[in-house]
Amino acid sequence: MTKMIFGSLAFVSVVAMASSAMAATVVPTFTDEGIDNTGTSTYTRMYRADLTGLGLEAISEVVIKDSNSGVGGSTGIYSGFDLDAIFLDVDGSLATTTDRIVVDSFAFSAGTTRPGSYPPPSPSGGPTNGSSSATTVDEEWASLGDIDGIYFGSGSLTLGDGGSLTSSFNQKITIGSSLFLFAGEVSGSAGESLTGLVEVSDTPTSPLSPVPLPAGLPLMLTGLAGFGLLARRRKAD
């Protein structure tokens, strides 16, 4: 079985704390760290982004979106980007593992699958490899905190064409003097790569997160409530 590798592109956004309440966007630079097979993976190409020096204070979410190019990965349950691992790392070295910060929870939205040799459902039960449903990651099958993806097997999550994965941390991760984002694709080829935008905000901006009110709105609403109370008192007099 040969998996066809093309120029699929996955977009990564990191929702973070900014020094200002105003939202901003910056572009991280991902470097190709080459093949890593320190775990049980056969071929996982790792990508790294330095999160320091970007004006961020803390990380709350990392969002990966498949490019929906329709040519990356293979067919069926392997359509689109195949994510083996995603985690934050303090020193930026894959040789050390004790400083890795793994994701606490995932929100998945499966993309479409192409007709071919590997139709859904996947061995994990969902429409793509590593998913148990169109909105749920099978975290036992797709162990995304470890570099252990098996070629055409367990250990990874396939996004599907146009699919997305939101990785969230229960507590925002403070960015000190050194913090890196690692993501790996199950592949021995650099055909599928990572690039993207880092979305900087004082609150998470994923669809699962509440939309923050403008800074002056609570004060304005308080003032309006006061005017209403005063008007009712005047009518009572």
With helix as H, strand as E and coil as C, how does the chain read? CCCCCCCCEEEEEEEEEECCCCCEEECCCEEEEEEECCCCCCCEEEEEEECCCCCEEEEEEEEEEECCCCCCECCHHHECCEEEEEEEECCCCCCCCCCEEECCEEEEECCECCCCCCCCCCCCCCCCCCEEECCEECCCCCCCCCCCCCCCCCCCEECCECCEEEEEEEEEEECCCCCEEEEEEECCCCCCEEEECEEECCCCCCCCCCCCCCCCHHHHHHHHHHHHHHHHHHHHC
Q: Report the distance separating Cα 182 and Cα 201, nearest Å.
A: 21
The residue with greater pLDDT, 96 or 3, is 96
Q: Is the pTM of this model over 0.75?
A: yes
Q: Is residue 111 part of a domain?
A: yes
Q: Is 3 a member of any domain?
A: no
In a domain, 172, yes or no: yes
For residues 101-118, give the mean pLDDT.
Answer: 95
Is a pLDDT exceeding 50 seen at residue 231? Answer: no
- CA–CA separation, 205 vs 210, rounded Å? 8
Say if residues 2 and 151 touch (Cβ distance below 8 Å): no
Specify if 4 maps to a domain: no
Cβ-contact 149, 186 below 8 angstroms: yes
Average pLDDT over residues 141-170: 91
Q: And the tokens for 190?
A: 């650099």
pLDDT of residue 146 exceeding 50, the answer is yes
Output the six-digit token pair for 226: 């006061």
CA 98 remoteness from chain centre: 21
Token pair recorded at residue 231 = 């008007």
Q: Is the residue at 81 inside a domain?
A: yes
pLDDT-derived band of residue 12, with 50, 70 and 90 as boundaries? confident
Q: Within a 10 A sphere around the Cβ of 226, how many other Cβ atoms? A: 10
- Number of folded domains that form the chain: 1
User: Which has the higher per-residue pLDDT, 188 or 178?
Assistant: 178
56 close to 18: Cβ distance less than 8 angstroms: yes
Query: What burial class does residue 101 get, using C-beta atoms within 10 Å of its C-beta: 0-12 exposed, 13-18 middle, 19+ buried?
Result: middle
Does 1 map to a domain? no
pLDDT band for position 199 (cuts 50, 70, 90): low
Residue 229 is part of which domain span?
Answer: 9-236
pLDDT at 230 over 60: no
Residues 6+ apart with CB under 8 A from 110: 126, 127, 128, 131, 134, 135, 159, 160, 163
